[in-house]
Structure 1
């Protein structure tokens, strides 16, 4: 059950902050607040491995052919870094979209499995992005973490223990199947996570699929299938999304020209870049120059 006094506390915390911001970090690394006062159209972005407890409002996220809706009382779990299309579908100044965002730490998850592995639910078919009703225990732990983040001493002393508890609650959740798969270093989910790290670290450089498959320790065909099952994209589509999203960031901040942005993210042809950019975002790259600076 959502603590309505928590919603009031969060609204008070962001009072006076810029209204065009959607994410507000706390004193705890990897833990922040979402607060939107208006709905937002679909945006392409990359979701990091996180858990997001929604306290108010609604959002939808598309990954491949799957459309995931979540709202007040739901917890979204994202196990891998994945490009998605997302939109805030219910929010207003009187009733903002509010959520708590918690970054996942795989080392903590694995440490918990060493202690409580036999007590975790069995592994079932799982997705890298899924949402379901949060348990009362998870809501309580996230609430305590937010309150601890508001006091320096509590943040230092209590937050590490509460963070560990949240990881445990997520492992135990009905929709934490992909997290449970991530616990084994040699699992398919862990291998794909390693490859994602490689692509993200060097997305500007051509990366042969055969090399990525070798990193995963799989045949090319098996790697392609498993990568797509986790990210809903082929490895090359995934890399292309990273390039285009980075180019949009550079252009929107007025940092580069269209040609410069194309070359900076790894395109050899500005014409091809413009074509793929327009197809991805629905506007030409030139239309996006300086939009963030203007806002």
Structure 2
């Protein structure tokens, strides 16, 4: 199965969806088509655990000090919820950046890992995001998943089986090491994943890193080191990014003042919030709110 065949099938699927959207969800398949054009601006967002197969164009992903370039045939694996900066660097209206994305439910694939763990190599990466070349078997599995999109019974019965095969092949891949690590019952990556979820659930609250380290059954120094190694950020930086991104979302809705938004996301000082927002996005929050109409929303 060549990438060209999958590109043709993806364009056919895209023609059945919303042509004006950059992210198109295929209902019932846990599959999305990303179709976008190159831009000078960057996007700050949080990637959830996912697998992304790039079909054409190029995209740049930055996590902490690392820079990952995605090109045709690149297979991206994300094992933890992680803040990233992204930019499409190659893609036009006639020849857009095109990719297939499927979400990875870490809890749901635990049983598969248990079955095959004894046959898998140890993790060769310490980061929660890594990319490598997709092999023919992985490309073929994605093509079969896309092919059943309009056959509801097959999507219901075969869809989960194909997803299981895709995860199996990701677990076997050279760059799937952190995905293997996060599934280990006694692995440090799993403990960091629990810490990440705790921060996400409580990002508005004051974060005491020593308490989070204790919850993760790690010493404070080891927790700091492992958290930053895996996510590219310190725990406090991670929390700040979540606050800032949520604040941006609230400002785009346009129905709250800057001070209200600052308080909603956990800041005690609107001045500090404005300073950190400006540092992150290059302009104060008031300009963001004034520049975008209240009806505009991102999905």
Q: Do both share a fold (TM > 0.5)?
A: yes
Q: Distance in 1 between matches of 2:8 and 2:71?
A: 17
Contact 2:29–2:149 (8 Å) recurs in 1: no
RMSD: 1.8
Q: CA deviation at 1:29?
A: 5.5
- 1:138 correspondence with 2:138: yes
Greater alpha carbon shift after TM alignment, 18-27 vs 259-268: 18-27
Matches within 5 A, 1:1-295: 2-15=2-15, 20-28=20-28, 30-39=30-39, 41-289=41-289, 291=292, 293=294
Between 213-222 and 15-24, the greater mean CA deviation after superposition = 15-24
The Cα of 1:143 is off from its aligned counterpart by 1.3
Closer/same/farther in 2, CA of residues 184 and 292 from structure 1, 3 Å limit: farther
Stretch deviating more after TM superposition (11-20 or 179-188): 11-20
Alpha carbons 2:49, 2:106 under 8 Å: kept: no
8 Å CA contact 2:192–2:216 kept in 1: the answer is yes
Of the structure 1 ranges 108-117 and 262-271, higher mean CA displacement relative to structure 2 is found in 108-117
Q: CA-to-partner distance for each residue in 1:220-254, whole Å, 9 max, x for gaps?
A: 11111111111111101100000000000111221
Compute the TM-score of the two structures, normalised by the length of structure 2: 0.93
CA distance in 2, matches of 1:49, 1:223: 21
Deviation at residue 17 of structure 1 after TM alignment: 5.2
Q: Are the counterparts in 1 of residues 29 and 155 from structure 2 also a CA contact under 8 Å?
A: no
In the superposition, relative to structure 1, how do residues 254 and 18 fare at CA in structure 2: closer, same or farther (>3 Å)?
Answer: farther
Determine the C-alpha separation between the residues in 2 that align with 1:265 and 1:123.
36
Distance 1:4 1:263, change over 3 A: same
1:116-147 deviation digits (Å, cap 9, x = unpaired): 22222233233211111111111111111112
- Change in CA separation of 1:284 and 1:208 when aligned onto 2, cut-off 3 Å: same
Alpha carbons of structure 1 residues 11 and 207: separation in structure 2 relative to 1, 3 Å: same
Cα offset, 1:206, TM superposition: 0.8
Aligned residue-pair number: 295
TM-score using structure 1 length: 0.94
> Relative to structure 1, is the Cα distance of residues 40 and 186 closer, same or farther in structure 2, using a 3 angstrom cutoff?
farther
